[in-house]
Amino acid sequence: MIKAIIVDDEKNAVENLKLILEKKFPNEVAIFATANSADQAYDVFLRYSPDLIFLDIEMPVKNGFELLKTLGHYDFEVIFVTAFSQYGINAVKFSALDYVLKPIDFNELEIAVQKAKKRIAEKKVNSSLENLVEYLKHENDKSNHKIAISSLKEIHFVAVNEIIRCESSNSYTTIVIENQEQIVSSTSLFEYQSLLEKYGFIRCHQSHLVNKNFIKSIKKSEGNILLLTNKDEIPMSRDKRKLVKDQFNI
């Protein structure tokens, strides 16, 4: 049985989620306590040492992220249950953590709970949660940021400034890293674009996202091909040429 707590400033949301969990997971999830603020949740966390926290991001005074930064160790799982927030959701996606949007979709919740159950059984330190907390602590220092990349067998934590490019292939994305390593991820290129644009990545083609720091030159003689520092040659679609050139003021 998973020992869980619910943290949300809206009491109705807490009761609603508690009822759903009791109905759908009566033999899998036990709600030991609930909390309506980050400070209350901190005390509850210390008292019960839960396996799993259902955590709202947006709360007054201290939000869910600020609560996580105070906890100190991360041998538990988190499922964020929250209203849509572009900043919050992007931060969660950046570290490959699970979230369920309000109003709660039963199927999404079940998928998230089953994934958490599997990870809890493995009894590992939650590296994704550690990565999120590091991201939050050093949010303005992009040179230290690592993105969680989910492959078939594991989650890789890769420094953003070491990623050369991302290339889509159907619903998969191949991530090419500076040390010549390649990781195939089941996350779409569109998702990576939304997460990496603020780090200087350019969508130069329908199938390609490139870190501008690795662009060496533009080969005009071959229909505008980007030559990268690792000698990869990447096509640049006609409608993206101006976007790329504007990045270099040419």
Instruction: State pLDDT tens for residues 158-205.
Output: 999 999 999 998 889 999 999 888 999 999 999 999 999 999 999 999
* Mean pLDDT taken over the chain: 93
pLDDT at 222: 63
Whether residue 220 is predicted with pLDDT greater than 80 in this model: the reply is no
Other residues' Cβ atoms within 10 Å of the Cβ of residue 153: 6
| Residue closest to 119 by CA, chosen among 78, 87, 84 | 78
Q: Which of the listed ranges 66-75, 215-224, 235-244 does the model predict with the highest average pLDDT?
A: 66-75
Query: How many whole angstroms separate alpha carbon 227 and alpha carbon 191?
Result: 24
Share of the chain above pLDDT 70, in %: 98
Residues 191-207: b if buried by 16+ CB within 10 A, e if exposed = ebbebbeebbbbbbbeb
Residue 94 is encoded by which pair of tokens? 């950046």
| Residue closest to 45 by CA, chosen among 14, 83, 75 | 75
Angle CA 205–208–210, to nearest 5 = 105
Cα dist. 41→4, 50, 60, 216 in Å? 12, 11, 13, 50
Q: Which of 83-97, 185-199, 235-249 has the lowest mean pLDDT?
A: 235-249
- pTM for this prediction: 0.88
CB 94 within 8 A of CB 35: no
pLDDT at 249: 59
Domains of the chain: 2-136 (3.40.50.2300), 160-247 (2.40.50.1020)
Whether residue 239 is predicted with pLDDT greater than 90 in this model: the reply is no
pLDDT at 250: 56
Q: Which of 24-28, 36-40, 102-106, 120-124 has the lowest mean pLDDT?
A: 120-124
